[in-house]
Amino acid sequence: MKAKNKDVVTRFLLSEVDSYNKAWPLIKLCVGESFEKEHWKRLITMLDMPKEVTLDNMKFKHLLDAVPIMIKKTKEIKELSDKA
């Protein structure tokens, strides 16, 4: 692989890791007994997940796919967690 291509790949990977690092604390806010079904429904809607995604069939991949939206909606997710 050419050096230029390696730089592009490296920048992409670093960007992805940075996004996941920002989203991880938000994901951690959504676990626990206090985060009930109604909170998950609200989060699924807030993250603009596909209509077919429900609490029963949601996968971790759905959260990973929503990382950019999570980062943009940090305040709303924190508020939702505070209400849980």
What confidence score (pLDDT) does residue 56 get?
94
Decide: helix, strand or coil at residue 83.
Answer: helix
pLDDT along the chain (84 residues), means of 10: 75 94 92 88 95 94 94 95 89
Q: At what angle do helices 37-46 and 74-83 cross, to 10 degrees?
A: 170
Q: For tokens 């206090």, what's the residue? A: 34
What confidence score (pLDDT) does residue 32 get?
81
| Nearest CA among 76, 19, 74 for reference residue 42 | 76
Range of the domain at 36: 3-83
What confidence score (pLDDT) does residue 1 get?
56
Which amino acid, one-letter code, is at 42?
A: R
Domain total of the chain? 1
Decide: helix, strand or coil at residue 78.
Answer: helix
Please say whether the beta carbons of 77 and 35 come within 8 A: no
